[in-house]
Amino acid sequence: MIVSASRRTDIPAYYASWFMGRVAAGYCLVANPFDARRITRVSLKGEDVDFLVFWTRDPRPLIPYLSELEERGLRFYFQMTISGYPPEIEPGAPVLDEAIGAMRELVSALGVRRAIWRYDPIFVARPDAARGPEAPTLDADWHRRNFERIASGLEGAPSGGPERIVFSILDEYSGTARALAKAGYAEAVFGSPREDETRPERRALTDPYPALLADLAAIARSKGMKPTSCAEPFDLSPLGIEAGACVDRELASSIWGEAAGTFRAGCKDSGQRGACRCAPSVDIGAYGSCPRGCAYCYATRGKTKLLERGPEDERL
C-alpha cells in the first residue's frame, strides 16, 4: 500500500502533530470524500506501507520528525510546491525566500532525490485594470524570471538542489476561472479548458506554453534538475520534458529496492485524471481543510478552514 499525504490538503504544513500522533497509534481513519459515512482504516505502520508521498508548500513543521518516521520504518519522499505567484493568488503561501530555504533544508535532510520541486500550476494571465500598475503581469517573461530566481536559490544549497522538477499547466476545473477573477486575474490561459473535456479533437497546447516550457526545462537542466510533467495530455518530450509520475513506484524502488513494493507496468491510479501516471495510493487527507486559499486550487470545495485536530483524533 502507498499512502498519499495528501493531494487534498497540506498535512506537513498544518497537521504535522496530528499525523505524528496517528503514526504513533499505527493507523488513521479516512472518510470517503463523496460519502462521509463510509470510513476506511488506513495502517501507518512501516511494515504495511510500501512508501509514503508528502505533498506540501511548507514542510518545516514536519522536518523535526523525519528521523522518527524513518526509525519507525516508514519510507517517504516529498513533493514541494514553490511557484512564487503574488499573494492575491496564493494568500497563505510562504514568502518566496522562506520557501526556498525550506526546500534547501529538506534536501539537506533527505538528499536530492527525496525532495522534489513542483513548479505547479503554470498559467499566464493579465491583471485587471482595477488592480493598478503595481500588479504583475503573469506572462511568459515573468515565469522565466521567477523560475530562474527559484532555481538559482535551490541550486545554491550546500547539498545541491533537488534532482527532479515537476511542471504542470493549470487546468480549468469548476470555479477556477471565477476564483482567479476574484483574485484580480480574469483572463487566465488554461492548459486544458473545460470545453475541451467533451471535444478532445480541440485539445492542443496553446501559446505561449510550448516556448515557455522549453525555456523552463532548459533552465532546470542547467541547474542539474530533471524536468518532468504531471498528468499532461500533451507530448512534451520535444520540449525537453519527460512524462512523469508523482506517486512514482519506480523512483521508490530505485531508492529502497524491494522494500518499496513491486512495480507492475501499466498499473495506474484509476481515481486520477486520464493522463496521470501515478501508482495507486490511499489518500489520508480531507477536502476543504487547507486554510491557505490558493485561487486555483481544485481541493478547496468552497470555504476552507483549519481543522482543530490533535494527535488523538483518528481522522482529519
Please write the tens of the pLDDT for every residue from 252-301.
999 999 877 765 555 777 778 778 999 999 999 999 999 999 999 988 75
pLDDT (average), residues 135-155:
96
**Per-residue model confidence as pLDDT tens digits over 48-77:** 999 999 999 999 999 999 999 999 999 999
- What share of residues in the chain are helix, strand, coil (percent, to 5)? 30, 20, 50
Residue with C-alpha cell 529538506? 106
Res. 87: pLDDT tops 80: yes
Q: Does the pLDDT at position 19 exceed 80?
A: yes
> CA-CA distances (angstroms) from residue 145 to 29, 110, 222, 311?
43, 28, 15, 42
**From edge to edge, which strands make up the β-sheet containing 226-230?**
242-244, 226-230, 164-169, 115-122, 76-81, 51-56, 2-5, 282-283
193 Rama sector, left if φ>0, alpha if ψ -120 to 50, beta otherwise: beta
CB 308, CB 301: distance < 8 Å: no
Model confidence band, residue 130 (pLDDT cutoffs 50, 70, 90): confident
Q: Report how far apart, in Å, the C-alpha atoms of 183 and of each of 7, 29, 86, 179 are.
A: 23, 35, 10, 6
Q: Which of 37-51, 153-167, 280-294, 295-309 has the lowest mean pLDDT?
A: 295-309
Give the residue-averaged pLDDT of 139-164: 93
Degrees (nearest 5) of the Cα angle 74, 76, 79?
160
Residue 190 φ then ψ, to 5°: -90, 150
- Per-residue pLDDT band for 134 (boundaries 50, 70, 90) equals confident
Instruction: Please state the pTM of the whole predicted model.
Output: 0.94
Tell me the C-alpha distance between 11 and 116, whole Å. Answer: 16
Taking alpha carbons only, the member of 44, 50, 60, 48 closest to residue 115 is 60
For the chain, percent of residues with pLDDT exceeding 70: 94
- pLDDT at residue number 156: 81
- Helix (H) or strand (E) run with residue 56 in it: strand 51-56
Radius of gyration of the chain from its Cα atoms, rounded to whole angstroms = 19
What would the pLDDT profile of 187-239 be if each residue is shown by its tens digit? 899 988 766 555 554 567 999 999 999 999 999 999 999 999 999 999 999 99
Kindly tell me if the per-residue pLDDT of 169 is higher than 70. yes
Bridge-based pairing of strands 51-56 and 2-5 is parallel
What pLDDT is stored for residue 153 in this prediction?
96
Is the model's pLDDT at 93 over the cut of 80?
A: yes
138, 90 contact by CB (below 8 A): no
Other beta carbons within 10 Å of 2: 22
How much is the pLDDT for 258?
81
The mean pLDDT of the chain is: 92
